[in-house]
Amino acid sequence: MADTVQSDRKTNGFHKTTNGQHVEELKIAIIGQSNFAAEVLELLLERDHMVVGVFTIADKGNREDILATTARQHRIPVFKFAAWRRKGVPIPEVLEQYRSVGANLNVLPFCSQFIPMEVIDGASFGSICYHPSILPAHRGASAISWTLIEGDERAGFSIFWADDGLDTGPILLQKQCPVFGDDTLDTLYKRFLYPEGVTAMGEAVDLIAAGTAPKIPQIEFGASYDPALFREENQYINLNQPAVRIFNFIRGLDSVPGALATVEMDDGTETPVRLYGASLSARRSMTNAKLIRFKGAVGPAFVTREGIFITGTDGVLVRVKRLKRGNRVIPAGQWFEQANSSTKPLELTEKEQEQDTLLRSIWKSILKVEIETETDFFACGAGSMDVVRLVEEVKDTLEVPISNETLFMAPMYGEFLQEVIIRLRAGSAGDRSANIEYLGKHVMLTANRRKICVPTQLFINGQFVDAEGAKTLPIVNPTNEQVICDVASASKADVDDAVQAADEAFRGVWTSVSARERGQLMYKLADLMEQHKEELATIESIDSGAVYTLALKTHVGMSIDAWRYYAGWTDKIEGTTIPVNPARPNHVLTFTKKEPIGVCALITPWNYPLMMLSWKMAACIAAGNTVVIKPAQVCPLTALKFAELTIRAGFPPGVINVLTGTGSLAGQALADHPLVRKLGFTGSTPIGKRIMTSCAESNIKKCSMELGGKSPLVIFADCDLEKAVRLGMSSVFFNKGENCIAAGRLFVEDRIHDEFVRKVIKGIKTMKIGDPLDRATAHGPQNHRAHLEKLQEYCAIGLKEGASLMYGGKRVPNLEGLFFEPTVFTNVEDHMYIAREESFGPIMVISKFHASDFEALVARANNTEYGLASGVFTKDIQKALLFAEKVEAGTVFVNTYNKTDVAAPFGGFKQSGFGKDLGKHSLNDLMMKCELMCGFFSSFAGKEALNEYLKTKCVTVEY
């Protein structure tokens, strides 16, 4: 249709305008470069304008400008000139080639070359040029930058009739936009000057074609011609001026080429740096800051974790987030670490040399130049799409976790190669003993027919580091009571470092990771845990005494399940829309958003070291938070191995931090820290009460508690007795009794009581007790000596109060290590200590009941301050459901026990705590009970744990 209309208008090289006059048809020459010029070309062609030639810059190596590529796709003649003039005189062959296309209108959408006046005036309709300022202000080549440097409240662009290169020709069209406080050269260009500029160039040509294009002479009022900022001498910032002027200069050169400053080093040398990411800071004082000296600065400058702070002459601080030293961009807050580090080139193995060749070929295919160690990706003219292509090709070809940030921080080929090789070494399979330099201090465990390297330092901001003062604590193998190694013991200052790193990551790098990318990282981590599951299970056995087969299936298996389950939730966290009454005649939209809380602290127990970490942390990370975790003091090694795997998975520094140490110091410091917004704790009720007090007094931080338990298990005579015996034993002896939902008291109907006890004792005698790494072992050592001694004291109290000890009750004789016999008490009365208090060990406490009084039975089951779990065995569904309804426990098992799943919420009532692990958020957050009715129907797949790590924001919009 458009072609037909244009054909109807054409008459012997002329076309009719709206007033009926015959005007010569436009034959356009586009002179310029870049994506901007290419889009103008596309737009003019869409509007049926005739483009007879494209003139652009010469190729850089084998890489041509995008304008040339676009023109060739449309079969438009392309001319590439390194220059149009030589010594101020037009080059004859260049003029000849220009005149050969017969253009009568020159369009200069983005032109960096000086065009001779013979060309400018050689077209009968003249030449129009795009200029990124509101002329006559900021004439010259650096107009956008000077708009910001001078603090203009409005920016804009002009399309003017080109003159002798001084930007003084008549105005054809102008458009304006406000300058916002957070605008930079980049944001201003992308938000307005680029998209609106392309459209305006099309409008300008339309006006010329219609014969209605104005020529408005420029006035001299407000005119300025500013220095060109492509000259390095003009890029140096004057630090002896008010903060707002310093801020404006830096953002005016962000991100190209960057404001230049000179750092005076301690050794007397001077180091030039470029500054990026400036903001005016509300801070007026500095704590925990190091001084940095800038040449020419009158006021002091400081380095903190948040960046570099420069003091203006008015005392106000300017924060700088990033700086470039040489060819490397680094976080400004890492100046001293980066400045003092000396990275020597890696020696490549034969396989890594092959990877080097592959990497060079990818760079060459994109940049079209020969790749040397010093080749700078961006200096070769690469753009944003080239960054995406490079990163994706490298990830696919070499299977290495990198991001755009990797390239930004290492734009030179040699540096980029080094970053890739380090990541490949970190993620290589098999025996990694040769590639563990990045782990720092570590212990090499030799067990289970394998060698396992485990870090022993704190994990803060993506690095393994010593604790303050190199303080350590010993880790003991409960199987033989020998010291495995010493691990770092975090101080209050170490806790602060970790929390600060997590807070910075939450407000910085983690926000740039989309929900779906977050899920991909979690899937990658789960895959790595799967690959290393034998190592993790072995560590769990050595460190905590877990039976290896159980550790493999439950400790590690459910940990992997948790990470995979929550990885699938990351991009499904949604709010709701809410109908509300508007103030008529207006309309109102009200909706809620689910947002991450911020820095979350996790304190986990010693019975399931890796699983408790995963249950809590996977939900926390899926929700978009960052984490500082303090694993149990006595068995932290799987947490440290896990930290290593997060590096291999590609988690950004600061997102996950691991602090080994004592609860009284490191744990308390986390509870007290004002930047921690949520604390998840699993442990004893007395410690939970202290932590809740600290959470309230520090900053009223949100907390969830999974505390003690004394879970009742009721066994009716009409049950499947063999199953009840087997699962009743598991309910107590599973994981050596170190199980938060262990059945703390069994109520057995009197008709089957004696037979039940006899079968249990017979079953105990068949259990193999010994080395947890032995595949035949069913019962391993208790976790640590203090716990073993507590179990001995617990049994002594039971005997003293009159309970009958039917089996066990003592340490296993003739066996080194912390082994305690599976124990059975009967004739236990409700008032006794062992009927009321949790043993957290392999001690079965049995009481009789008569089936005639169901209400009394339920009352006995509920006669405890705990309410974590419960169970019932019966073939009578009415009794089962009635028990599930009346029992005061967060989880109810029917004809089964210990059957948990990552999709089902887990948590207790009363002094067993509040909040949930596992699952997502319940459809009804007020529903306080999730009854897991295993055995009769599928579980109510409650979805609550994500809610523990999210906050709900309500937004109301009137329109």
What are the catalytic residues?
131, 706, 740
Three state DSSP letters for 635-696:
CCHHHHHHHHHHHHHCCCCCCEEECCCCHHHHHHHHHHCCCEEEEEEECCHHHHHHHHHHHH
The CB-side HSE value for 169 (13 A sphere, CA atoms) comes to 22
At residue 529, φ and ψ (nearest 5 deg) are: -60, -40
Single-letter residue type at 885: E
CA dihedral 929→931→932→936, nearest 10 degrees, is -160
For the chain, helix (H) and strand (E) counts, in that order, are: 30, 43
Question: How far apart (Å, rounded) are the C-alpha atoms in residues 254 and 278?
Answer: 9
**Contact 310/277 with Cβ under 8 angstroms?**
no
**Contact 946/571 with Cβ under 8 angstroms?**
no
**Contact 451/432 with Cβ under 8 angstroms?**
no
- In whole angstroms, what separates CA 514 from the centre of its chain? 8
Indicate the helix (H) or strand (E) that contains 67: helix 66-73
**Contact 309/302 with Cβ under 8 angstroms?**
yes
Instruction: Give SS3 for 769.
Output: strand
Task: Please report how the helices 195-210 and 34-46 are oriented relative to each other, as an axis angle in degrees rounded to 10.
Answer: 40
Question: How far apart (Å, rounded) are the C-alpha atoms in residues 228 and 225?
Answer: 9
The alpha helices in 446-552, defined as continuous H runs, are 492-507, 515-531, 533-544, 548-550
Q: What share of residues in the chain are helix, strand, coil (percent, to 5)?
A: 35, 25, 40
Instruction: Give SS3 for 318.
Output: strand
Single-letter residue type at 347: E
* Residue ranges with strand state E in 733-860: 743-749, 804-807, 823-826, 843-849
Question: How far apart (Å, rounded) are the C-alpha atoms in residues 469 and 351?
Answer: 40
Single-letter residue type at 8: D
Question: How far apart (Å, rounded) are the C-alpha atoms in residues 160 and 311?
Answer: 41
Question: How far apart (Å, rounded) are the C-alpha atoms in residues 488 and 659?
Answer: 8
Tokens representing residue 464 in the block: 């393994």
- The DSSP secondary-structure symbol of 288 reads S
Question: How far apart (Å, rounded) are the C-alpha atoms in residues 865 and 607?
Answer: 22
The per-residue b/e assignment along 923-948, b for 16 or more CB within 10 angstroms, e otherwise, is: eeeeeebbbbbbbeeebbebbbbbbb
Which residues partner with 702 through β-bridges? Answer: 678
Question: What residue has token string 């499904």?
Answer: 572
The CB-side HSE value for 188 (13 A sphere, CA atoms) comes to 31
